[in-house]
Amino acid sequence: MAFIKLIATSFAHSITSLFFFAVVAFVYMHIRKNAQLEEYWLGILRNPVSTQLANVVFFGMLVGLIASLLIVLIGIPIDYQAILFVWPLALFLMLFNQRLMCFSYAGGIVSLASLVTGWPKMDVSALIALIGILHLMESVLILADGHRDGLPVWMEHGRFQPVGAYLLQKIWPIPLVVLVIPYAGAQLAANGGGVNMPDWWPLFKPQNVSQVYALFPIVAVLGYGDIAVTSLPDKRSRESGFWLALYSLLVLTLAIVSSRTYWVKYLAAVSAPLFHELIVIVGKKRQMKGEPVFNVPWVGLRVLEVLPELPGDKMGIKRGDILFNVNGKNISSQEMLYEVLGEYSYMVWVDVKRKDEILSFEYTDYTNGIDNLGLVFVPRNTGKYFRMEEQKGVMLNLWNKIIGNKNTPA
């Protein structure tokens, strides 16, 4: 009971720290930016920014609490000194590319530097374990929350164009309690003293350290950026979460083995960023080269998104349905749809194709009338495309502006 109390106290310190509030503010700005993009593409915002923020904060705190209990109860110590090096490096890499704000890249660099040069002096196995733990948490978050609020867009895609796709972008603030290896001079909170643990604890035993550990509250930021082209957002997030979970288990296994076999530390330091990058590259290639789900049908209009609380949603129309008949007239363009809706102000009946099944729906509104079904379609012809580009950081954007100015004739 005393042990659970210590964890709860440390977790409370984490969620009330100024750093946690700063991270939440950063997440808020990210959601605001995505909200502006959604209003540009859809003309409306489906869920308020406050709702989206509350959602990611809730999931981040829940997963952070569960991970904290597992880290401490199982006994996976983290090198406190490693955190002091990896965090600033991750923030520095983000200046070049936002995707590089990940402990797998910064942790791999710091680990290799420590192994090759001896500086900074730290327990590499403990740092690799932290990378595995964070990505295991990220995989759970992707599985549970990664598909929510996916932004429907259309893009160029080989011979199928334009095609519908979903932009998946999430950032979660993660309050966390870790079991750290204290060093001389390190200022760590005692958080209520110490307790006796079983002889087998900790399960993960770093080399050449004392059997004294401390609980330390930290805040992490986990992000998910993906595109769903060949499948719906929920299926795509399940695929991403599954492969990331396998990656995290591999990294954790290498961390445990490397704590007992020195040469495996080199393998773990190289594998952490290498396999993470491989997952990103292969996943993106499969989405951009595979057959899209939301292509333009030969007849009718393909539904890309159903806006909430509007006639299409109330009738039961779903993503992927093909709308081909409205009020008894065949529909092949959005202009034809609006023309037909203008003829019948208060009633609409539609036929849609869902896989190999033909379904009919109807809806009446004698109070407000019906001039919009609340459906987003994959357009047959458009000059507006979403471009899949890397989210460049401040430094690369600044460099591109400098190069652009130099190439501009006076």
pLDDT tens-digit profile of 298-334?
Answer: 999 999 999 999 999 999 999 999 999 999 999 988 8
Task: Tell me which H or E stretch contains 51.
Answer: helix 49-70
Rounded Cα distance, 2 and 191, in Å: 11
Distance set, CA 89 to CA 5, 37, 95, 118 (Å): 33, 29, 10, 18
Provide mean pLDDT across the span 276-285. Answer: 92
Structure tokens at 353: 């194709």
pTM: 0.87
- Nearest Cα to 169, choosing from 143, 144, 152, 146? 146
Q: What is the 3-state secondary structure (H, E, C) of 177-198?
A: EEEEECCCCCCCCCCCCCCCCC
DSSP designation for 236: H
Q: Exposure pattern of 163-175 as b/e (b: 16+ CB <10 Å)?
A: bbbbbbbbbbbbb
Rounded Cα distance, 49 and 157, in Å: 31
Name the more confident of 287 and 397: 287
pLDDT tens-digit profile of 191-203?
Answer: 445 556 667 677 6
pLDDT tens-digit profile of 328-379?
Answer: 999 988 899 989 988 777 889 999 999 889 999 999 988 888 888 999 999 9
Domains of the chain: 2-289 (no CATH), 301-377 (2.30.42.10)
Rounded Cα distance, 397 and 410, in Å: 22
- Nearest Cα to 325, choosing from 352, 343, 347? 352
Is the confidence at residue 287, as pLDDT, over 80? yes
